[in-house]
Chain A
Amino acid sequence: MVSPEGKTTTPTKNTRVTKERFAPASWGRPPHAVIVVDPAGTAARVDGETSLLPGVEQGMPLPDGLAWLARATAEAAADAVHRGDPEPPAVAGEFRGRRFEAHPTRCADGSVVWWLVDHTARYAAEEALTAERERTTFLAEASNVLLSSLNAERCMAATARLASGFLADAAVVVAPAEGRQLPVTRAVRGGEAAQALIAADPSTVPGLAEALKGFPPVPSRWIDPTSLPDWLVPDGFGTTVGSVVVTPLPGHGVPAGALILLRTDTRRGFSENEETFARLFAARSGAALSAARLYAEQHSITRTLMRDLLPPRLHRVHGVEFAGSYRSSDARDRVGGDFYDVHPGRTASEPSLVVLGDVCGKGLDAAVLTGKIRNTLQALMPMAGDHERVLQLLNGALLNSDNTRFATLVLASVRRAENQVHLRLTSAGHPAPLVVRNDGRVEEIPTHGSLVGALEQITAHTVGTTLLPGETCLLYTDGITEARGGPLGGELFGDERLKRALAECGGMPGEALVEHVRMLASQWLRDGGHDDLAVVAITAPQTTHLSAVDGHTRGRYTS
């Protein structure tokens, strides 16, 4: 450093030189505030940017706000006595809302010259940067937490918990009203979120009704915290509410709810910056909530459809054993293209109608077509005696010009007479039913016809047969015969293998036979992908000849 006089003023231990360095008159005005503090804590001199130091008077003791500087002076002076160079380190402190870094230079008389560099702006920038980093981290974490769940309630709980921990002292998520009740999720900082349905009018909270409609939030300072209803403040909040932010949770097209942030009266209110940030958070949480709600809605629609479309549980009807098994190709779909139904005859002497079918395609399209076919067939029950007519009417009902989606099915009219079961079977483009005789023979019933739903004209040929006690007629979809797998993999299970397997099942109860076929398919497929599989067994029950009539059956056999 070179003084205006050209003398070398590099700090040395020479006190005389040090003294000369502070000849302020010849220096002009230093760009920093300068205070010379004597050991008694008096401001011996004030120079430079004195405007930064209002209230500091030359010759007067340092004001209370600069007590930190007085302390540092005492330390620096003591240090000088014992150790001399180097200069003591700079100290930092605040004065009248400004932050200073004070750099000391010792004088021989024990007083210290403090150069006060104003770092207010730098600290502010650093703080803003830190805050921004924290927010980014928070938003990233919030996104992770929010998007990891497709459950709307867990999403609301996470929103309340995150918001109460980072943005406020407590947070309340209000979902759009369900009927007359508001689903509310409340959380206090550090606590778990609690959910409740509250019969409350959203218009009692300033800005809430608007936020639930998706209107932009009103500034926090416009909301009077004393006007909040009691239900809004979570248990454990403790003191009174000092400030409130109500912000909408924007969803996909429709508002997903509103987020209310509460701060205690001991904390400062929400800054504009914080309100903006709350909106950023609300946007993420709203998107997650909205996705979760859409998913829930979809799930409930699928469940409603499925409930109606799942094949029924079969049991004995009018003295005939029915057993069925259905497995969809995909656990996710649960309902695929295969189906079966048993429509009992009105009386024991009227035949029951069994339907087993396979709709082409998969997923919802197939499920919808399945539902259509099952309903139509149920409506056609009065004419179930004429299979060809039933199939023609069904074909007419399904035919459309948009596509050639079709179904193949087997109709079976089943009637028990004495201890035998009479069957009339019609295949509409479906693999032929198999009858397992008591002696182990497996017969293919030679019924044939065309598929339904895609052709203008269809044909069908009905074949009759009779089951003796213990014999079973098996209706199945090609999920078993077309199963690819086996010891080498990729091999078709095929008709012949199925017939050979059934030949060992003579006299087996229907339930056991169905289970056996299902097991064969699973074993054949191993872990491989598979098609839907539906199997129905119609069995004439094993009977004992009775000498006495048991009262309500007309036969002389146990039912």
Chain B
Amino acid sequence: MAEIRNFCIIAHVDHGKSTLADRLIEHTRALSARKMTDQVLDQLDLERERGITIKMQAIRLNYRARDGKEYILNLIDTPGHVDFSYEVSRSLAACEGALLVVDATQGIEAQTLANFYLALEHGLEIIPVINKIDLPSADPDRVRRELEEVLGLDGRGAILASAKTGAGTEEVLEAIVQRIPPPRGSVDAPLRALIFDSHFDPYRGVVAYIRVVEGQVQVGDRVLLMGTGKEYEVTELDVFRPQLEPVPRLQAGEVGSLIGQIKNLRDARVGDTVTSAENPAAQPLPGYEPAKPMVFCGLYPVENEDYEGLREALEKLQLNDAALVFEPETSAALGFGFRCGFLGLLHMEIIQERLEREYDQKLIATAPSVVYRVHKTNGEVLEVDNPAKMPPAGEIEQIEEPYVRATIITPGDYVGPIMELCQERRGIYQSLEYLSPQRAMLTYEMPLSEILLDFFDKLKSRSRGYASLDYRYIGHRPSELVKLDILLNGKPVDALSAIVHKDRAYLRGRQLVEKLKEVIPRQLFEVPIQAAIGSRVIARETVKALRKDVLAKCYGGDVTRKKKLLEKQKEGKKRMKRLGTVEVPQEAFLAVLKVD
């Protein structure tokens, strides 16, 4: 056990985490050069394309250190995005140390900070790595100062590296061996192993990725999952190279995977503790909480007959994504669909994209909503995740909405505009600290719903792309909220309803009808658009009827071409939803997000 090191890499998005992992793998020859594709740990296509890590992976490296000894290094990859912070925290719990990667050209960003504190909470040994030192604009001295002044780390201990050129790779490996402590935990104690990730394999069922904290587990053992209370027989144990390689046993300190005829991902939840069914541990490992969806939206097939196809696609995605929840819902406007819950906006986007790309589903997505806690006058308390389901104003005593603590790191020049933005978004100012003379950290508490409203894009545009954001849920708080209804052709469209703050209702109503006027194409009929609170109309616009759409010539050779144009027109219509006589394009349902 003295020769085992379990570690992870944490970083702000784009600071080079996955590339550094590649260098470590290459250096220890865990993969032959032939198998080495760029960023091997990011297995999903989507991850590679977007340059982000969604799903964690692990790999076991063999390293002969300068002290002459052979070490086993288990690298556990972590997702870099705020939506997946619970998963980050689980993979941190499986390690004794962390490489904290910081971009030498950018310095500490919001997620550097958030991940650093998470690692600190888990008591990990932190090795700072200043990456991308090959770039001309690299400023390692400034980053070193930030590490010291902001994080209180010893700047001299930071390793200068370039994952691109391979510089510093060996220093990183040596630091892992020398500075990260070996795992502790008695092999003789009752088994306690943490599930830090899992995936579904169509042939073998659930593959649970585990870190054995105490005791040992062997093929043939009966194990108990302490969170769910279910028992399984272990049919296979593996280590990651990175493909699975069977081993007879895993013991305290080791990282590997467990297969045991577990049919459903929900039965092997990330964070749960595996123990022996015969000799169970007295206490599970700390910190288990099922991932809780924070953001909901309705997903509807454009054609009603595709409903079953959408259900099957969602079920398949759920096999590999325990955080995705969905249940059937009906909308007067959109027909049959599903209310889906996500960890955050990115998670939502990824699911929508995968449904369209991998499962060929044509979707109408409604605007995302948070979960409101509604106290009714009759004492009942409801959780409402769909604005259309908000009870009538007369029955509501009070509404609470989720708040987050948002941390924003930005060049000092943009502090003013960003503070303005946060004020506009009902933010409550907490603090302003300077990380260095040029860089500031702002903290606000604000409603999560305001972050869903295009906040990140606005933040980027007000800081020329330089500001970074991280946020954590801090609880529900009472707010003065009202339901805004949208009427097309005089008929309310439930899927366009929004919950907004009372003081902004008029403004938002006006902006919303203006935006809808832009995105709803002109049709054969005039289409009135209204915004209303209860029965009171507060804003109104009209999409004028189509006037002219034909006067081109059309001769013998034009038949094919003309028809192609018409087919295109028809194809465009297919992506629209027919509400009564009005054709509404998909983006209309997201219009609420795009108003300024």
* Same complex origin of A and B: no
